[in-house]
Amino acid sequence: MTDSRHAIAVQIHALVERYFALGEVPGARGTARIPLHVPSYGAEEVNEAIASLLTTRVTMGEKVARFEALWAQYIGAGQAVMVNSGSSANLIAAEVLRSPFVPRPLRPGDEVIVPAVAWSTTYFPLVTIGAVPVLVDVDPDTFTLDPPAVEAAIGPRTRAIMAVHLLGNACDMAALGELARRHDLYVIEDACEAHGAQFRGVKVGNFGQMGAFSFYFSHHISTIEGGMVVTSDEKLADLARTLRAHGWQRDVRKKLDVPNPGIDERYFFVNFGYNLRPTELQGGFGVHQVDKLEEFIRIRRENADYWRRAFARYADRLRLSPGREGGGSRSVWFGYPLTVQPGAPFTREDLTRFLEGKGIETRPIMAGNFRDQPAIRLFPHRIAGALPNAELIMRQAFFFGNHHAIGETERAYVRECVDEFMRRFA
């Protein structure tokens, strides 16, 4: 860079720092007093992105690679492959399982067990690869797959389990792992809402053949849009890299053993592929965000602990999630969920309307019971049983925001509002 260009870049950098040093950006949390989510980035991320733009090195490169290495290290997984969203991470994980380069690839019509409560793009990637999602009930306290229900749903065509660590709660990976071993099933972890969640001392993303994370704006940390596939298997990571970028082998560690009949190596296509690449701007965000994650998690856990203790007195009216805690497990609280007990003297809508009126945003638990979503008619699927807990969650549960911008004052405000509501039904 020439001296004058460098001098301008230094000024821009300093101006961005001054801009963010003025405090919260007006309008950043919308109109709500307690929004569902707030931005997680500041001057470092913006300056990193601007530096990429100013140098014009904007397509996937060194910063993405650096974030991948940091994420692999944070999770404790051998390999991490960044993509442009959590949905893309799920798609790659599913595609790897039908690749002819894995042992016993999934075939059209093979079944994959999924929780009935998850996100739409937990299911759609399975449909894309021709698999049949089997919707199974969840545990009403952690919102994650109920292992006995999984066991009951396993049939002759079942080949895999999609373990979704919903709302920051790890699935019971001991029970699911045992079922997977016994029935020779692949396991994919959809950890899009569970950055840093642990099951018995091990971070989620390490239990299945592959794990998927989302760095969408509203998640624990964010690259605006973005996602990551993690795996401890180098070959699966390389397959993910080919699937991410057109099916070619340009950035793999070890080339697949496919004879080349004299085609230019740079344009040699060995596998199926998409274009799911992130940009350097997203990689640059990630490099800074990963350092902030543990502090964000600490705040979320402190808030959840406070609300759990504050609302325990309403146990006959509100079912509280204990999270997945104890014995080295930890929840990272994507939001704070409440389930209105069916016998309560008010409806869920009474409570959410009241909270919204107080500036506390609320929303349903992800896509609810996906059995009832019209989109399910568009693809072959199987429903395993009556799904009573998914039904309970769909009709009676909701969550409000739990994030790093909620401190002592904000969490006390939420408690006061719930107390005020409950006094109406004394």
Tokens standing for residue 198: 């642990």
In the shown chain, the binding pattern of residues 249 to 278 toward ligand PLP, with x for contact by CB under 6 A and - for none, equals ------------------------------
Indicate which single residue of 48, 139, 190, 280 sits in contact with ligand PLP (rule: CB under 6 A): 190
Which residues inside 116-155 make contact with ligand PLP, applying CB under 6 A?
118-119, 121-122
Indicate which single residue of 168, 208, 227, 368 sits in contact with ligand PLP (rule: CB under 6 A): 227
Residue 198 sits in the site that holds ligand PLP (CB under 6 A):
no
Residue 214 sits in the site that holds ligand PLP (CB under 6 A):
yes
Report in angstroms how near the CB of residue 341 gets to ligand PLP at its nearest.
26
Indicate which single residue of 83, 164, 392, 397 sits in contact with ligand PLP (rule: CB under 6 A): 164
The residues near 419 (Cβ < 8 Å, ≥ 6 apart) are none
CA–CA distance, 282 with 63 (Å, rounded to integer): 8
Please identify, using beta-carbon distances, which residue of 192 and 297 lies nearer to ligand PLP.
Answer: 192
Torsion, CA 351, CA 354, CA 358, CA 362, rounded to 10:
40
Please identify, using beta-carbon distances, which residue of 192 and 418 lies nearer to ligand PLP.
Answer: 192
DSSP state of 313: G
Backbone angles phi, psi at 139, to 5 degrees: -75, 130
Going by DSSP bridges, is the β-strand pair 202-203/336-340 parallel, antiparallel, or unpaired?
Answer: unpaired
CA–CA distance, 230 with 215 (Å, rounded to integer): 14
Which residues inside 70-109 make contact with ligand PLP, applying CB under 6 A?
85-87, 90
Given a contact cutoff of 8 angstroms between Cβ atoms, the answer to whether 38 and 26 are in contact is no
Please identify, using beta-carbon distances, which residue of 125 and 140 lies nearer to ligand PLP.
Answer: 125
C-alpha distances (whole Å) from 299 to each of 95, 184, 303, 304, 406 are 36, 39, 6, 9, 8
Q: How many residues bind ligand PLP (CB under 6 A)?
A: 16
Please identify, using beta-carbon distances, which residue of 36 and 318 lies nearer to ligand PLP.
Answer: 36
Contact segment (CB under 6 A) with ligand PLP among 36-44, 187-195, 201-209, 312-320 equals: 187-195
CA dihedral over 86, 90, 95, 96, signed as positive or negative: positive
Please identify, using beta-carbon distances, which residue of 186 and 213 lies nearer to ligand PLP.
Answer: 213
Report in angstroms how near the CB of residue 113 gets to ligand PLP at its nearest.
15
Please identify, using beta-carbon distances, which residue of 216 and 346 lies nearer to ligand PLP.
Answer: 216
C-alpha distances (whole Å) from 425 to each of 338, 347, 413 are 17, 12, 19
Active site residue 6: no
Report in angstroms how near the CB of residue 120 gets to ligand PLP at its nearest.
8
Please identify, using beta-carbon distances, which residue of 74 and 399 lies nearer to ligand PLP.
Answer: 399
Gyration radius of the chain's alpha carbons: 23
Given a contact cutoff of 8 angstroms between Cβ atoms, the answer to whether 12 and 50 are in contact is yes
Report in angstroms how near the CB of residue 117 gets to ligand PLP at its nearest.
10
Please identify, using beta-carbon distances, which residue of 164 and 297 lies nearer to ligand PLP.
Answer: 164
Given a contact cutoff of 8 angstroms between Cβ atoms, the answer to whether 355 and 36 are in contact is no
C-alpha distances (whole Å) from 303 to each of 84, 139, 153, 400 are 30, 23, 36, 12
136: which strand partners?
A: 115
Report in angstroms how near the CB of residue 285 gets to ligand PLP at its nearest.
14
Report in angstroms how near the CB of residue 334 gets to ligand PLP at its nearest.
8
List the catalytic residue out of 37, 165, 195, 219: 219
Indicate which single residue of 192, 197, 243, 332 sits in contact with ligand PLP (rule: CB under 6 A): 192
CA–CA distance, 285 with 276 (Å, rounded to integer): 17
Given a contact cutoff of 8 angstroms between Cβ atoms, the answer to whether 68 and 228 are in contact is yes
Residue 216 sits in the site that holds ligand PLP (CB under 6 A):
yes
Contact segment (CB under 6 A) with ligand PLP among 40-48, 51-59, 113-121, 343-351 equals: 113-121
Could you give the residue numbers annotated as active site? 219
Residues that bind ligand PLP (CB under 6 A): 85-87, 90, 118-119, 121-122, 164, 190, 192-193, 214, 216, 227, 366
